[in-house]
């Protein structure tokens, strides 16, 4: 993901790539002497904390696409948001943000009369399960529609080379309603992260969401 984000940024007139950092320091440049407006992190729990430190050093906006981060790291991120603008998105695609918006509206309209299942499918090598996106969908349903999704209603499948599929199914007597998002290229997430960074870097310090960057209603 980091590599694709870097490659796509080179063809995007909104950006100038000034640093590319990984555990092996492949680029040989930590960007310490270059002005930095935004940092995009697709790494690990430890790498995410390093990205927070880097962003704070440069007073740069921070977009975090890393999933499966620990509570300790979430606390570090929350503290950083008092100083810099931070956007945490376990899924940076605009389509997922719209899907969540639709799922919340469906949950509000259908209420408790329907059984709800959330099915997510990812490649066999994905470590966290359920996915961060699945947890985000469940949290949004609880917070914004009052629908609590039990753990046994969230189904995680790890198989093959699937990039990412998320489906929410509402079932009742005589009918089923499905709202689904299927990712067919990882470039989707890289482009979404770049769009989020372009939107975020002029914002005031605080915590932001992909939905806000798209102008979607995230209220109760």
Structure tokens at 190: 């890289």
Closest alpha carbon to 67 in 127, 148, 147:
127
Structure confidence at residue 217 (pLDDT): 60
What stretch(es) of the chain map to CATH 3.40.50.720?
2-88+187-213
Structure confidence at residue 153 (pLDDT): 96
* CATH code of the region 2-88+187-213: 3.40.50.720
Q: Which residues pair with 180 in a beta bridge?
A: 167
* Coil, helix or strand at residue 177: strand
Structure confidence at residue 28 (pLDDT): 43
What stretch(es) of the chain map to CATH 3.30.360.10?
94-183
Structure confidence at residue 20 (pLDDT): 86
Given 53, 58, 101, 122, which residue is catalytic? 122
Q: What is the pLDDT along the chain (220 residues), one digit of tens a residue?
A: 888 999 999 999 999 999 888 766 544 455 556 789 999 999 989 999 999 999 999 999 999 998 888 999 999 999 999 999 999 998 899 999 999 999 999 999 998 889 999 999 999 998 889 998 999 999 999 999 999 999 999 999 999 999 999 999 999 999 999 999 999 998 999 999 999 999 999 999 999 998 899 887 655 4
Among this protein's residues, is 58 annotated catalytic? no
Structure confidence at residue 23 (pLDDT): 62
Given 53, 101, 123, 126, which residue is catalytic? 126
Structure tokens at 106: 């469906």
Structure confidence at residue 106 (pLDDT): 96
Closest alpha carbon to 149 in 129, 172, 164, 169:
169
Structure confidence at residue 32 (pLDDT): 53
One DSSP character per residue, 102-113 reads: HHHHHHHHHGGG
Rounded CA gap, 112 and 146, in Å? Answer: 9
Q: Residue 156 burial by CB count (10 A; 0-12/13-18/19+): exposed, middle or buried?
A: middle
Among this protein's residues, is 166 annotated catalytic? no
Query: Could you tell me where the beta strands, DSSP code E, fall in the chain?
Result: 38-41, 61-64, 85-88, 115-122, 154-158, 164-172, 175-183, 206-208
The CATH homologous superfamily to which domain 94-183 belongs is Dihydrodipicolinate Reductase; domain 2 (3.30.360.10)
* Coil, helix or strand at residue 118: strand
Rounded CA gap, 85 and 102, in Å? Answer: 27
């Amino acid at each position: 993901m980091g590599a694709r984000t870097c490659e796509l940024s080179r063809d995007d007139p909104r950006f100038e790539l000034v640093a590319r950092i990984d555990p092996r320091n492949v680029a040989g440049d930590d960007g310490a002497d270059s002005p930095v407006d935004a940092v995009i992190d697709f790494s690990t729990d430890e790498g995410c904390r390093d990205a927070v430190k880097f962003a704070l050093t440069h007073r740069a906006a921070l977009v975090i696409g890393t999933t499966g981060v620990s509570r300790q790291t979430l606390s570090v991120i929350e503290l950083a948001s008092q100083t810099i603008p931070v956007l945490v998105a376990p899924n940076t695609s605009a389509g997922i943000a719209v899907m969540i918006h639709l799922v919340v509206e469906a949950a509000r309209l259908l209420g408790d009369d329907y059984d709800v299942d959330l099915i997510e499918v990812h490649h066999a090598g994905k470590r966290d399960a359920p996915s961060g996106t699945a947890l985000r969908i469940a949290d949004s349903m609880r917070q914004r529609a009052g629908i609590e999704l039990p753990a046994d209603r969230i189904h995680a499948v790890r198989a093959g080379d699937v990039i990412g599929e998320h489906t929410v199914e509402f079932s009742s007597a005589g009918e089923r309603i499905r709202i689904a998002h299927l990712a067919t290229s990882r470039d989707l997430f890289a482009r979404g992260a770049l769009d989020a960074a372009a939107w975020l870097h002029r914002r005031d310090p605080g915590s932001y969401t992909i939905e806000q960057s798209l102008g979607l209603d995230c209220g109760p």
